[in-house]
Amino acid sequence: MGSRNHEVVPTPLIQQIASLRSGSGVHKSISALAKIGLIAKVKNAKYDGYRLTYGGLDYLALHTHTKSGTIYSVGNQIGVGKESDIYVCAAPSGRNLVLKIHRLGRISFRTVKANRDYLRNRQSGSWMYMSRLAALKEYTFMQALRREGFPVPEPVSQNRHTVVMGLIDAFPLRQISSIPNPAELYAELMSMIVKFAQYGLIHGDFNEFNILVEEKTSPSTDGDESAPNVTLIPTVIDFPQMVSISHANAAYYFDRDVACIKRFFSRRFGFTSDEPGPFLAESTKKMVKRLDVEAEATGFSKKMAKELEGYMKEVGVDGDAAAVEGQEDEDGEEEREDEDEMNPGTEEEGYSDGHKEQDMEETNGVFNLTSGQQENDSREPVSLASQMTVLDIQDAENDPLPSLAELKPQLQSKPSKSTKSAKAKAGWAI
């Protein structure tokens, strides 16, 4: 509550919100939280107070998910980006899910001045509040798109800065080296951009990083078992930058989405369409529905959208499309492929099936979908759950946080640098 208007929450306000009696009990409780890294005291602050760390916010969100029965265990990290971390997780039933943790402004946090603590005179809120808005926005739009039949992951739950969604058994488009029919997939993706617009929305970051491609094979019509039919099914992910067609820069974002797909297909598959467009004005001549208006009615208001957009501009967040756009005239495609080969599945948003990516490491992170003869993963969904860490977050008489008496900070053996120097290098004012 206090972190919405304060980057550093004053100690008296913590005492008031937590309904703690004044005295040593307050400082003892705060000290216990600080020792395990859930909160941190900021040096050189104008008043005595603490800020919630990413670890503390993660703990609160996971506590809520486990309490509601959404998440039972958490597995490996399968994706990391500038604004989020992606983990595979499992429900109590054993169903494999994906946990996306928004960390808006993580890379550009050092650009936010330490003395800009109280947010009353700011147009946007703290990193914590904005990360929550990004998660709320993504979950809201995923629900709306899923209802209308768009190929998006199934939204399961949202709390604070986290979103839980279904696991997609697919590869990111950026990891695919060749496909049997580029024109068919290109047409499907362009139709998807147009369909978004006809429903009042523009993705805003529609590129090879945020498109998962699932391969399905079926027997050949001529009976040739050695050459089965391969069908590629795209799924769109990552929606925090989605905007309405009523946005002031709607045409720019629409054209950028189109240009990203055209550029990627030309460079990767050698395919160039001989048809211009599509264009926003033509795409919106026949509107189907206004999902942007529905999203406002379900809780994500225009005010929230404006706050989130302002903060994203402040910390320099503009998605993967901007990075790709900046390299349009540079010969950087080979370098990106080399990075993918060295670090497969570690860039922005690869929340496809993580264990499948690990099984295919011998292909150096770039997959060929022309043969249709990839090995299918025969493991049952529960096999992943058995390898995960069970979350042991207990309530004591309905207390919002469990007792910290038995919790101890983890000791690191011979760190290469001190915590203070590491945080100072990262730009943290602690």
Asked if 205 is an active-site residue, the reply is yes
Q: What is the DSSP string of 57-83?
A: HHHHHHHHHHHTTS-SEEEEEEEE-SS
Q: How many residues does the chain have?
A: 430
- How far CA 70 is from CA of 51, 93, 225, in Å, comes to 28, 9, 42
CB 4 within 8 A of CB 307: no
400 burial type by CB count under 10 A (0-12 exposed, 13-18 middle, 19+ buried): exposed
Instruction: Fill in the DSSP letter of residue 243.
Output: E
- The shares of helix, strand and coil residues in the chain, as percent rounded to the nearest 5, are 40, 15, 45
Q: Which of 117, 205, 292, 320 is catalytic?
A: 205
> What's the rounded Cα separation, in Å, for the pair 296 and 275?
35
> What's the rounded Cα separation, in Å, for the pair 20 and 300?
33
* 3-class DSSP assignment, residue 200: coil
Gyration radius of the chain's alpha carbons: 23
| Residues forming beta bridges with residue 415, ordered by sequence position | none
Question: Quick check: bond before 172 cis, omega within 30?
Answer: no
Total Cβ atoms within 10 A of residue 297? 8
| 245: Cβ contacts below 8 Å, ≥ 6 apart | 197, 200, 201, 202, 254, 280, 284, 292
**What is the distance between the terminal CA atoms of the chain, rounded to a whole angstrom?**
22
Active site residues: 205
